Structure 1
């Protein structure tokens, strides 16, 4: 007879891993989308804000490729150049995109309301703060000092091109955070993101996942635009975004990072009851 030992983590949470745009900074996630629109415009291709948002969460090279494969965008490219977009075209668009993103990421770097208070609460609980992004390292290096000056400096940062395996929707950036932060179990970690690829990333890593609807890419409103809505209008705007994140498998969906601390209590109770993500 053989016996199989099973260990189930029931301890407290150890780390929370945040996305950047639409999650902690840049309410509405405008920096990646607007700059992508401008990069395509440099090639005489019109892309709408709604189209630019569709592949959000992917590494930026992958985002550009996916955007170019959208039927309407692909048709415009075919009409303009007489051929389908190639990987070499994606390389050229990416080369145009990166300097623009570095130059302008600071224009959209304001912290989301409630973010600093949330991070302070998490640190008081003894939690490590990790982060990862669809931005490449050169963009993160431009954003980090701006964010630090505003009061947000996570314990670890992984950019989408830091790892040979790549970025989302794979688990590698989230798992690299776990290693660097010294968390002892994937179930002790929570991944917080406003995009489906970001939720996929956390689930693939075996972590708890929290989706953010109102502050992120799916609603796509600035904080001023969001605040101008009535509560009923806000609920109507956030409903499709929340449904999309729930369908992706997010364990919890909140409006913004400001609501996160209470959910961590619920996750720790589930851990204590023997549940896994």
Structure 2
């Protein structure tokens, strides 16, 4: 049996988000389904509102949307009372089959993701992942992604852990345990959402935020390419500011740019004596 490859860099693992990070450029699959799920109850939710809590587990996402004053006002006008936990459950039960049915349409790898994962493996780094998607949704997404070349060493779903999801550190730390990583300070969390960056920081990891490919910009690759340069720059800058404010150590356009950043993190680790 071949011995495990020793990391070339002074790092041990990279923990990725899924939608907007490895697959689904623009993180479109979950956003549209939230809009449609609320619409089935007669509640209008805009795409911008639906994107606001992205990165949370889907049940927490629904809870957060119902806490939005404008959405809550609609709910009370329609149903004559404030929303309760039973209403969150009802929306979630409506959301789940819709998300399961649609997620496969958004399983395409983000350009550069396959090459980046191959590069990480060549460096001897372990590859973890976690998602706000429930396990039932990942059970559909993962085989489709695997066929296309996206297969981390470990995956944690948004409803796998009793402790909860983002912005808590638990999903990221579950990867650390499963991958037998000895130092969270030598792990890098890569995510396109504010809760995902907070998750990585709360877990004590280096954090890299993604702008153009992710939820903060929220456009397809074709839409981003067609944007006037000034608009694309402004959208990138706005996304970078939000991710940096959440604690991202570095911010890049997409996962394709990650190897260069990991080299910079490695240099800082060596300078600080973490080998």
Which runs of 5 or more residues in structure 2 are unaligned?
1-8
Match among 13, 18, 37 for residue 20 of structure 1:
18
Q: CA shift at 1:275, angstroms? A: 6.7
Which runs of 5 or more residues in structure 1 are unaligned?
1-10
Match among 80, 90, 104 for residue 106 of structure 1:
104
Q: CA shift at 1:231, angstroms? A: 3.4
Alpha-carbon distance between aligned partners in 2 of 1:194 and 1:159, rounded to the nearest angstrom: 16
Secondary structure of the residue that 2:129 maps to in structure 1? strand
Aligned twin of 1:169: 167
Match among 97, 115, 125 for residue 123 of structure 2:
125
Alpha-carbon distance between aligned partners in 2 of 1:164 and 1:202, rounded to the nearest angstrom: 18
Q: How does 1:81-96 map to 2 (within 5 A)?
A: 81-96=79-94
Query: Deviations for 1:54-110, whole angstroms, at most 9, x for unmatched residues?
Result: 111101000001001111111111111111111100000000101111111011111
Alpha-carbon distance between aligned partners in 2 of 1:195 and 1:212, rounded to the nearest angstrom: 8
Aligned twin of 1:250: 248
Alpha-carbon distance between aligned partners in 2 of 1:122 and 1:275, rounded to the nearest angstrom: 22
> Normalization by structure 1: what TM-score?
0.94
Aligned twin of 1:8: none
Aligned twin of 2:264: 266
What count of residue pairs does the alignment treat as equivalent?
266
Q: CA shift at 1:233, angstroms? A: 2.7
Aligned twin of 2:3: none
Secondary structure of the residue that 2:272 maps to in structure 1? coil
Secondary structure of the residue that 1:190 maps to in structure 2? strand
> Normalization by structure 2: what TM-score?
0.95
Secondary structure of the residue that 2:196 maps to in structure 1? helix
Alpha-carbon distance between aligned partners in 2 of 1:246 and 1:275, rounded to the nearest angstrom: 25
Alpha-carbon distance between aligned partners in 1 of 2:126 and 2:195, rounded to the nearest angstrom: 23
Aligned twin of 1:5: none
Q: CA shift at 1:232, angstroms? A: 3.1
Alpha-carbon distance between aligned partners in 1 of 2:31 and 2:273, rounded to the nearest angstrom: 38
Alpha-carbon distance between aligned partners in 1 of 2:31 and 2:230, rounded to the nearest angstrom: 27
Aligned twin of 2:36: 38
| Inter-CA distance 275–160: structure 2 relative to 1 (3 Å threshold) | farther
Q: How does 1:185-264 map to 2 (within 5 A)?
A: 185-264=183-262
